Amino acid sequence: MKETELRTFSNVYNASTKAKQLIHEQYNAVHNVHTIMKAYKEGRAKDFSEEPKQQGRQCIVTGSGPSLDEAIPYLKDWKGDIIVTTSHASTLIYHGIEPTYIYALDPFSMKKEISGIDWTKYKTKLITTPTVWTDLIEFWPNEILLYRQNLPMSTPWYTKDLSIMYSIRSNIEGGAERDYKFDPIIKTQMVLFSCSPPGQLFCSDLLKYDRIFLIGCDFAYNDEKERFTEYFKNTGEWREVAHPYVPPTIEKNDTSEDITSNSPTREITTSNGLLSNAHHLYYKKNMLSAIRLSMQDVWVCGKGAITELPQITPEKLIKQQQWKKKPRGMKKSLMKKVLEKYLAHVGAFVIVCQKDGKEAYTFIESECPEVEIVCYMAQMKVIYTCDKCGAELKDNDFNVPQDLYVAGKKGDLQAQAEIWKRATAISDKTGDTCINCKEGKLVHKFDLDIKSNMKRFRRMLK
């Protein structure tokens, strides 16, 4: 199978993740409260937004691909910063490289990944959500930078409950206990795209680094390895863990399903000839979506599946790391086109709209854009908010019967034309009086142009 023939689906992945991880996140968050609040009162923990910005500096974001092995010998001479995860931290220390930040996302990020090292000898800081494994929070001795997750599947637990749990409760002067106010200590919410590298990228964006280099973000197998060579000291002595690539054994009647209708163990050939699988390429799709959202100056260092961005070798990176005045690797206008073209190839699209007066984006996966995306945008277009009371109201001006929707997805051109006609005939209720408060005026929650978005998608698909 070729990379561009693969279709992966976030709704399946998100449902599986929620089923397996949410209960652990809730448990961890409850049991981490005492440790984190104590560190906060001591001044050792703080909201991520309080960390000083790094304008004028460059940053490396590490992934777990085999090309990290090739780059590590050069990183001792790197003068910029490095954002790693708990998977990479001890390996860099083994090679004499000090990470600037360790990013923790997964509820199963644990102490054993980075134990055996006296981290008080380093200035490394931990960037974490309070939902990681409890022994990691208890073990970490240095500064802690806190954020909350902002997920497509966000529930009130992520958006509200965590905020209340990690708050300072105080009395309003002269008020009773029932009038106490809550001041959240974790204000930063970070958008997540399924795996750690996009989260590390967004950390670098919030810290305002000028240029980002991806090392080990391969999303493929190369050099006959599945991932980088790891070093741990959690048993008291350094031990090496190698990960040679072993071709998958596929049963004759394999009907397993994960994030794709194809077997997740099947080998897939990337556009530059490397071997990969559905999970890796799902993560690549999410990584490029994250880069499209942040629009940072991103370079790829090492051979991997990402061919859509500027490339540089580890050796050249170290030689040219003082190039602060050189132009960005790719103009933003070209980057948008290149990234969106790739995403369209794998059935993912970026809807551009206006929200709160600023350009905003919605990422949607679709096998039939002429029906699914048109209907999705039409549903966005009929959502209004009141400029006075803030109520959210949905108009009933757009309706597509199920039989018409199904016929359009099957390729019925007349059905698709009728859906398009209904979507583009939606009347604009902007300025109408709010039916909730009877005083305010309605404004679009998402101000978008269906025709211009579809014109862009059709051009890419063609």
- Sequence-ordered list of residues with C-beta below 8 angstroms from that of 152, at least 6 positions apart, any chain: 10, 14
Q: Please state, rounded to an integer, the average pLDDT across all residues of the chain.
A: 90
Identify the pLDDT of residue 442. Answer: 94
The half-sphere exposure of 309 on its side-chain side, counting CA atoms within 13 A, is: 29
State pLDDT tens for residues 118-173.
999 999 999 999 999 999 999 999 999 999 988 755 578 888 889 999 999 887 77
What letter represents residue 252's amino acid?
Answer: K
- Does pLDDT of 324 surpass 80? no
Per-residue pLDDT reduced to its tens digit, 262-272: 555 678 999 99
φ and ψ at 380, to 5 degrees? -65, -40
What are the E-state strand segments in 346-428? 348-355, 358-365, 383-386, 392-394
For residues 405-433, give the mean pLDDT: 95
- What is the value of pTM for the model shown? 0.90
How far is residue 402's CA from residue 456's CA, in Å, rounded to a whole number?
Answer: 27
Q: What single-letter amino acid sits at 76?
A: K
Could you give phi then psi for residue 85, rounded to 5 degrees? -115, 180
Contacts of 443 (CB under 8 A, 6+ apart): 384, 385, 386, 387, 430
| CA pair distance 151, 248, nearest whole angstrom | 32
* Cβ proximity of 340 and 458 under 8 Å: no
Give the burial class of 351: count Cβ atoms within 10 A of its Cβ; 0-12 exposed, 13-18 middle, 19 or more buried.
buried
